[in-house]
């Protein structure tokens, strides 16, 4: 359709031109009618405007992708694989049997060749659900109902932080001795510690997940760990709590439902400078689970490297799409300027020959041709800047770590387009400056 439209338009316009019009508008040294000039200039300027909009979008996407890639997840994904172990409907569903099963499973998986560490959590970051639970701080006023702060609620088996390489900032990890008959304890993340106990240690403080005006169970903070990403890769840090699995009432008293499964996390031994994949361990782990109880399924197997790649899939897709279109637009705009300027120079051969014969130096011819081409390109780029500032605002939900009107991105894109326009106009200009005046004047 594009070829048909742009092929027919000049033909239709040519059929409507009279001889008198042609004689009035044209001559031996004329490059074409003013209307034709304006149309060519408008098309090229439009190409540059579109190219700038798309290149700016691609530039913002690149900066977003780089910013997302540089996010520290708070754990090391290399060599870690997770899988959901469901007890529902099996002989291990009763809480007592469940504890025995998990302890036996961890002991046997730990002995597999290539396994460095193993533990479990209710939901692993990025690959599982995210539970939220309100909490109350001992010694502080009780918020109104519905206004209490909330935290992401994790239930962990001892060794989880070491398995995920989550750094312990203060205090200790949960232990196998943290059971229902022991004092209730909890580990919190650094964000929560700094927010609610600024300038002091959070270890030893107490929180509750029950309203203090009701029957309350206080959890003593025994450790602080670094912040980790949760279900959303780009979400800011937030409150997060880790309760020992053996002290979680629902897991220790209920037979199924939302507590009828756990997520096993396994870290493989990894050489320092080699790729590391824990996926080959999965069949062996499945065999161990089946040998203990063949009715227990293993599902949702994911490596943490894959989880990170999935978390960045949307910005990566945006980057590729915008990058391809921006590259095509830049190529078309550059070719457009080159084609227009080459055509204009070819039509002005006699004019340029006269200028050179009258003493003009080649450098002045180059400046003249380059100036005309750059004027067209920069006019389009100026329009494109305005359009980009308006249209990139629609990208706000896709961006991270960069504003839609980022001056650095706009500046780099503008310089890139100016360089492309300069290159596209310089070649015809240089060819024009080498015109032989005598041959040009003899040309028909």
Sequence ranges of the domains in the chain: 32-70+313-442, 88-295
What are 40-87's pLDDT values in tens digits? 778 878 888 888 888 888 888 888 888 888 888 899 988 999 999 998
pLDDT for position 240: 95
Nearest to 345 by CA among 374, 375, 362, 365: 365
What value does the mean pLDDT take over residues 364-368? 84
30 pLDDT tier (thresholds 50, 70, 90): very low
How far apart (Å, rounded) are the C-alpha atoms in residues 428 and 424?
A: 8
pLDDT for position 152: 93
What value does the mean pLDDT take over residues 390-409? 86
CA distances, 367 to each of 29, 349, 418 (Å) = 20, 16, 15
**pTM of the model as a whole:** 0.75
What value does the mean pLDDT take over residues 17-21? 59
What value does the mean pLDDT take over residues 295-299? 90
What the block records as the tokens of 119 is 């533990």
What value does the mean pLDDT take over residues 308-326? 83
pLDDT for position 130: 84
Answer yes or no: is pLDDT of 19 > 70: no
Contact 74, 228 (CB under 8 A): yes
On average, the pLDDT of the chain sits at 85
What are 171-186's pLDDT values in tens digits? 999 999 999 999 999 9
DSSP code per residue over 146-208: T-S-EEEEEEE-TTHHHHHTPPEEEE----TT--TTS--EEEEEHHHHHHHSTTS--TT-EEE
214 pLDDT tier (thresholds 50, 70, 90): low
What the block records as the tokens of 97 is 């049997």
Answer yes or no: is pLDDT of 28 > 50: no
What are 75-118's pLDDT values in tens digits? 998 899 999 999 887 888 887 888 899 999 999 999 999 899 99
């Amino acid at each position: 359709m594009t070829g048909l439209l742009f092929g027919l338009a000049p033909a239709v316009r040519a059929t409507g031109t009279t001889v008198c019009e042609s004689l009035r508008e044209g001559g031996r040294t004329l490059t074409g009618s003013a209307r034709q000039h304006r149309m060519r200039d408008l098309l090229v300027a439009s190409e540059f405007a579109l190219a700038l909009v798309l290149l700016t979008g691609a530039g913002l996407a690149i900066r977003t992708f780089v910013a997302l890639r540089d996010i520290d997840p708070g754990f090391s994904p290399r060599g870690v694989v997770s899988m959901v172990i469901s007890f529902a409907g099996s002989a291990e569903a009763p809480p007592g049997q469940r504890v025995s099963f998990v302890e036996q499973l961890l002991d046997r998986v730990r002995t597999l060749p290539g396994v460095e560490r193993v533990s479990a959590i209710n939901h692993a970051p990025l690959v599982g659900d995210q539970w939220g639970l309100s909490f109350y701080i001992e010694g502080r006023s009780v918020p109104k109902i519905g206004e209490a702060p909330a935290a992401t609620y994790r239930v962990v088996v001892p060794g989880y932080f070491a398995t995920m390489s989550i750094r312990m900032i203060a205090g200790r990890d949960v232990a196998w001795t943290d059971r229902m008959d022991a004092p209730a304890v909890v580990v919190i993340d650094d964000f929560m510690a700094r927010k609610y106990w600024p300038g002091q240690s959070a270890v030893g403080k107490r929180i509750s997940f029950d309203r203090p005006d009701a029957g309350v169970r206080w959890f003593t903070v025994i450790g602080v760990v670094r912040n980790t990403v949760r279900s959303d890769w780009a979400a800011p840090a937030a409150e997060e709590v880790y309760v020992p699995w053996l002290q979680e009432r629902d897991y220790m008293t209920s037979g199924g439902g939302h507590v009828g499964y756990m997520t096993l996390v396994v870290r493989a031994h990894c050489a320092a400078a080699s790729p590391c994949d824990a996926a080959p361990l999965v069949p062996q782990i499945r065999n161990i689970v089946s040998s203990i109880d063949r009715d227990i399924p293993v599902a949702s197997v994911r490596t943490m490297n894959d989880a990170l790649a999935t978390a960045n899939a949307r910005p990566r897709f945006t980057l590729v799409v915008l990058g391809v279109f921006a590259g095509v637009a830049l190529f078309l705009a550059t070719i457009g300027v080159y084609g227009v300027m080459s055509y204009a120079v070819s039509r002005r051969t006699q004019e340029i020959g006269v200028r050179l014969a009258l003493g003009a130096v080649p450098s002045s011819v180059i400046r003249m041709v380059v100036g005309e081409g750059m004027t067209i390109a920069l006019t389009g780029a100026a329009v494109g800047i305005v359009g980009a500032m308006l249209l990139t605002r629609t990208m706000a939900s896709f961006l991270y770590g960069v504003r839609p009107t980022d001056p650095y991105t706009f500046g780099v894109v503008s310089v890139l387009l100016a360089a492309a326009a300069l290159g596209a106009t310089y070649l015809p200009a240089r060819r024009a400056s080498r015109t032989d005046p005598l041959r040009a004047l003899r040309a028909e």
